[in-house]
Amino acid sequence: MKLKNKKTNYLLVGNPNVGKTTFFNHLTTSVASVGNFDRTTVNSKVGSLKKDKNTKINDLPGIYNLNSLGDDDKVVLKTLFNFDYNGIINVTNANTFLRDMYLTLQLLESQQPVVIALNMIDELKNKEIDVNKLKVKLNSPVVLTNAKKDLGLNEVKTQLNCPLNSFKLKYSDEVEEKINKISSLIENNKLPKRFYAIQALEKNEFALNYINETQENNEEILKIINSDEGSEKQIYESKFNFIKELYLEVFQEKLGEIISRKNNFEKLDKVLLRKITALPIFFLVLALIYYITFGPYTGGKLNELIDEGLNDKLLNIIYEALEKTKSPEFLNGFICNAVLGGIFAVMPFLPFILILFIFIGLLQQSGYLSRVSAVTDEILSPFGLTGRSVIGLISGMGCNVPTIMMARASQSKKEKVISILIAPFISCSARTVVYSFVASLIFVNNVWLVILLLQIFSGFTALIIGLLFSQTMFRKRKNVFFIELPKWRSPDFKTIGKMIWFEVKNFLIRVGKFVFVGSVIVWTISHIGPKGFLNDEQIEKSFMGYIGKGFGYLLWPIGLSDWRVAASLLLAFPAKEIAVTNMLIVFNGIENIHAYFNLAIALSYLVFFALYIPCLSTMAVIKSESNYKNLFISIGISLLTAYIFSLFVYWVAFSLT
């Protein structure tokens, strides 16, 4: 297989949590989510080099070595072994040189052009690196970088056209004899024969498959590989001994540097990694995030100002201008209520998206989520999850799609499937748009608290569903949890800014693609019936009215039998934000919505909306990351759970009011 623009494709490869995605964001015009935890990148992402659109950088998931077997590891291996590329940018962490260099040696043995970036040098407080000696030893360009501050990135770009490297690590005579025998038997090779031989002896799955599938004499080669199981260990020891010697040669203590300096973050970790204090602090952080995002003096105030400007002033001005032209009432309603009304209804919620993603970016990049993962692992174990799942579930507050994709990094099938199935229960930013709209009808100044409680409720519901699956579908399977606890790091605000801009564009695209189109369709079928065009007072006799009434019978037990509510829920599955514009259209204005909703109906609606079927994009990703069976299980369990909880909430609230 070939990547596009064959002559200008470079792979970005490195261990997890070395700053590779930050490197990608600063090196290219694209943006990818950055997290200060391992396995942030779970699929490849391609971006164009800044000021050079013909040069593509392919950001691959983090991988510890070429012998890894996880789903995201296979993405890297498939690309390295099967695709054409011009070179490799190997990003390493200068502070974890001994660990990261094993992958570097494996990449160098492929004899492809490799530019080695020693990243995060700002954290290398008490040592200095002899870069020139390192270049000579590895026979490849080596650049000291700090991607967060763009340090060294220009030099990396100038080194991209470096020649094929000729690095060759000498192994024991016994191993070298095997390498030579295997190399002499390999034919029609894309990568160097020696590389395939070494990888095969290290039991690399892709190298072994290549030999099995492409070599006529594969049995003879496999016989050599399996003749002595000690070769894999000997190769590992030779590489690691070389790395230790290399480290001692190129890393030097800085004279006069005070090494034993008290780290204030160690004190913070003592608090955040204790179970008795960790969870209360975590919930306090969540409460603060939601208060600032949706509170009456911050995000809520911005929402109010934009709503007033668009819906109370601008929309009225446009409507009055249309009336002066004496255009048909049907056309005026279509322009103001369908075309502009749908867009204006969701635009005031843009500040919520902005503020929420600022906090998600801060949580991801600081290293706090890794600490939460470490503390919650034991708690989540009965639910079929590990501490790593927390990272994905919290990221789901922005969008469920990347949460499901992050399940690739799960270390067991049990955790992966359960993570995929419960991810849609986490309330995403699109749902919070609807929460804030409905909550403002009843709770006014406490909208932020309602949304926080709904988020906690949806999280606990996800855990209950996880427990159900853990004790039924995967009862005999156990999870394995391993996570690297990274250093605390200051956020990269440039990357956070790019991420927010990406989310704003995504929000505006969704407004244009789903909300605009959806509101036009809903308004049209709400004003057309068997007897032709209808005015606002005749909507109940429209096609929408008949659809809503049919669905409403099913929702009668949970208090949502009104055809207008039923219709708004039914037609919101492509994108959850559409529910707001749907209600404004079928209720014919915010005043009628206020008049209809009481406490019991509002609570039932919010609970049902929080749990029922995921949006179209999420369903598509569940299918692509899993299968149709799990997609249908997700849809079924979501509808059943939403119905049961809404039934309980409605009748309890109804009996108390």
- Binding residues for Mg(2+) are 25, 28
How far, in Å, CA of 490 to CA of 123, rounded? 11
The dihedral over CA atoms of 644, 645, 649, 651, expressed in degrees to the nearest 10, equals 0
How many angstroms separate the Cα of 263 from the Cα of each of 91, 174, 259, 269, 485? 26, 47, 11, 10, 16
Tell me which residue of 403, 401, 306 sits closest to 352, measured CA to CA. Answer: 306
Let me know if 505 is exposed, middle or buried by CB neighbors in 10 A (0-12, 13-18, 19+): exposed
Backbone angles phi, psi at 622, to 5 degrees: -60, -45
Instruction: Give the Cα separation of 161 and 495 in Å (integer).
Output: 27
Residue 10 vs residues 58, 86, 168, 439: alpha-carbon distances, Å? 6, 6, 22, 49
Q: Which residues are annotated as a binding site?
A: 14-21, 25, 28, 59-62, 119-122
Residue position matching structure tokens 């055809």: 563
Give CA separation, 333 vs 151, 267, 320, 545, 587, in Å. Answer: 56, 62, 12, 18, 14
526 by DSSP, 3-state: which?
A: helix
As annotated, the binding site for GTP includes 14-21, 59-62, 119-122
Q: Please name the helix (run of DSSP H) or strand (run of DSSP E) that holds residue 9, with its range, or none.
A: strand 9-14
Kindly report the length of the chain: 657
Q: Tokens in use for 13? A: 């490869």
- Considering just the CA atoms, what is the radius of gyration of the chain in Å? 29
For residue 492, what are the CA distances in angstroms to 25, 153, 368, 381?
A: 10, 16, 15, 33
Helix (H) / strand (E) containing 128? strand 127-129
* Tokens, residue 490: 């200051």
> How many C-beta atoms surround the C-beta of residue 264 within 10 A?
9
User: Which of 501, 605, 586 lies closest to 548, judged by CA?
Assistant: 586
Q: In what order do the strands lie in the sheet with 9-14?
A: 45-49, 52-59, 9-14, 87-93, 114-119, 142-144
DSSP strand pairing (114-119 vs 87-93): parallel
Helix boundaries (H) for 381-446? 388-395, 400-406, 413-422, 429-442
φ/ψ of 246, rounded to 5, equals -65, -40
Helix axes 230-250, 131-138, angle to 10 degrees: 150
| Residue 151, strand partner residues | 146
Q: How far apart (Å, rounded) are the C-alpha atoms in residues 424 and 16?
A: 26
